[in-house]
Structure 1
């Protein structure tokens, strides 16, 4: 329960990519990590622990040991999740209702977001004297504010035969009632300014995530399951943070990366398809007195864990899984492979992680997509192509991936965290 209880707390506080980073940052600070600024020149000390935030939604934490030349161990995950995000000028007034204009972020299962209590979290950017450094406020209302109402079956008799939802028309959250006197008032900006105690005119822009506001819970006859929003991929974010905090290696360079924007392809300045990680690793080497040539050479003896959730065998759709590789809930971490390399890995990488699991008695399973189902992809294949280091994809098996609420096995978080900790043990 201690592993899953702390996971549920982590999920509740990580209501946007920004808040996932803030939650991780606070935990790292409590464990004596030093906060660096990406724009500063770094002076690093061996065995000191560091982290750097990147545009507020990505975080890299690392420990440079006495001899970096023993290779890098890197664990990567992502802070973002499929959701709705508010557009600029979001207020929509219609027939006495106030709605918010939103767009779909990532591959969310749309109908699972209907009729749920929803809230808002993210970043609000305010005017400042330095136009190139506006003031930033992070905001989380922590209470139900919105809902996306379904259409009654009486008005659509075909609703249970399969309905395609129009993202622009049918996914707009209901937010408030309005009157004619409110026609010229921007109620969203008023709400934001009240929350952060500023003038409405000071708000220049925002990046606001609509999140599912119901709390995570245990379920099952024996409380053997967890039902929660954002299991993809906060299970992995937490495992990475726990792993670097528990680090016991004496040589080499240990790193975790909590990337943003995986759900929309990673091709951003703070995403896994950027040069961010390569640049930070090279800066670490230089700050510790090593050459670029040493950095490039050490890539070949390094290892990356790409930590993201996996598809568990579905009890009502068993035919959707591979016929011999069928991970199920509460049976351990899934090792993910794909001939297409949509999941990163090779035979040696699989052998390494299996050996760690065997040594530490960590339960694991194998996941491969059915040959006629493309499946998804992860940061691993992208990041390993940029860094040319051996990489393997792993993750906790879950059901209903990309739903507003997903389901996992209660004991699988323990297995996942044990594996990431063992990865940084210094075997």
Structure 2
């Protein structure tokens, strides 16, 4: 399980690269790629995937009998993560250094991005003959390119009393040293031109991100922990992929949705707040020759898993947790609940997941925020408000969520993947 996660973390350096790696895994497993712009000829036992604007992807499998007589099972995760977005006109010269102008994407813990090896990933739009269809190139630089150095303690004696970073002035990465013999330098744009083998003037725009270039690794006396960038939310992406590929149902439809922009609200054309999941289900329904009424009936009994990481108990900050709901790393996946509905979980849906976990001896825990602390939210409530189906929010517990490097229990990835495999299977057969 962990090997696949490690590979996804190393290759999934931006949302577009996460989708590319997911598509590779699906294709290798025999899934057929479709397009939203064409008609679909779906078949029994079919396995398919379709990309949406490069950074979202939907995959689905149809049972041996292409019927909607049994419920639709949907799982969803997000492909994005907190990082630094590179702005247009990115090149800055300061004191002999070449820097890159960035903005913070999502709720990153800023100080964790200091003194880390960073690099660049995303997509670039180039000048083309067809003005309505620019040429799109993809880029993921594996070697470290950038660094945001801390200020030495000798220049800020109060640093250990608390560090407040300005998102505009304190988070600018250094790319290199300026050549003083040149009047004007566009260090990053020149680099992009060389990487893409085009003239920099042909680069019209881009969606490029500075990502943490550290590798995932084990830690702990028995290597019981995983220390890695992007555990939020590539743990969920990989578990859904593995579960969908391994799972098999005689009758029914399995769907895995991978949305973008969860970290900034989900209300975009690639996000869970769009109508794309509903559009997908309608297109599948029509391709199988089913009526709208048949789809409505099946969706009423559908089930939705919003898979995203949870907060684990921090041994140095135990007072930050609820009194009785304190997930510990390594003791199983985590079901998340909130009276505010920031997590979409309801008791009937939780009971379904608990029964699956108990049936197959999958360890699980529950998480609820302290009553006096506002927690985060997920795409679950947003998506379920559109589909109006039973929903559970769950995922692996982690420490340092939204840090450049997060920590999880290695055993929890196994538990989550086993649950996803059972969920996407005929439940009496999935774990034999």
TM-score normalised by structure 2 residue count: 0.97
Distance in 2, Cα, partners of 1:128 & 1:28: 31
Pairwise mapping of residues 379-418 of structure 1 onto structure 2 (< 5 A)?
379-418=379-418
- Superposition deviation, residue 138 in structure 1: 0.8
The reply on whether 1:100 has 2:119 as its aligned counterpart is no
Query: Any idea what the Cα deviations from partners look like across 1:73-112, whole Å, max 9, x if unmatched?
Result: 0000001000001000000011211100000000000000
- Superposition deviation, residue 243 in structure 1: 1.0
CA contact under 8 A between 2:68 and 2:294: conserved in structure 1? no
3-state secondary structure, aligned to 1:70: coil
User: Partner residue of 2:12?
Assistant: 14
Q: Pick from 35, 38, 41 the counterpart of residue 37 of structure 1.
A: 35
3-state secondary structure, aligned to 2:375: coil
- Superposition deviation, residue 140 in structure 1: 0.9
CA contact under 8 A between 2:13 and 2:121: conserved in structure 1? yes
Q: Pick from 9, 24, 27 the counterpart of residue 26 of structure 1.
A: 24
CA contact under 8 A between 2:337 and 2:343: conserved in structure 1? yes
- Superposition deviation, residue 253 in structure 1: 1.1
User: Partner residue of 1:348?
Assistant: 348
The reply on whether 1:254 has 2:254 as its aligned counterpart is yes
Distance in 1, Cα, partners of 2:224 & 2:180: 52
Distance in 2, Cα, partners of 1:422 & 1:192: 44
RMSD: 0.9
User: Partner residue of 1:120?
Assistant: 120
- Superposition deviation, residue 297 in structure 1: 2.1
Query: Any idea what the Cα deviations from partners look like across 1:8-30, whole Å, max 9, x if unmatched?
Result: 11111111111111110000000
Comparing 243-252 with 389-398, which one deviates more in the overlay?
243-252
- Superposition deviation, residue 148 in structure 1: 0.6
After TM superposition, what 4+ stretches of structure 1 lie above 6 angstroms from structure 2? none
- Superposition deviation, residue 344 in structure 1: 1.0
- Superposition deviation, residue 247 in structure 1: 1.9
Distance in 2, Cα, partners of 1:130 & 1:14: 30
Distance in 1, Cα, partners of 2:352 & 2:23: 30
Distance in 2, Cα, partners of 1:141 & 1:197: 14
- Superposition deviation, residue 181 in structure 1: 3.4
- Superposition deviation, residue 179 in structure 1: 2.6
Q: Give the unaligned 5+ runs of structure 1.
A: none
Query: Any idea what the Cα deviations from partners look like across 1:199-248, whole Å, max 9, x if unmatched?
Result: 22221111111111111110111111110000000000000101110121
Q: Give the unaligned 5+ runs of structure 2.
A: 428-432
3-state secondary structure, aligned to 1:27: helix
TM-score normalised by structure 1 residue count: 0.98
Pairwise mapping of residues 357-376 of structure 1 onto structure 2 (< 5 A)?
357-376=357-376
Distance in 2, Cα, partners of 1:109 & 1:138: 27
Distance in 1, Cα, partners of 2:36 & 2:191: 33
Count matched residues. Answer: 425
Distance in 2, Cα, partners of 1:181 & 1:79: 43
3-state secondary structure, aligned to 1:180: coil
User: Partner residue of 1:275?
Assistant: 275
CA contact under 8 A between 2:235 and 2:413: conserved in structure 1? yes
Distance in 2, Cα, partners of 1:182 & 1:58: 42
User: Partner residue of 2:169?
Assistant: 169
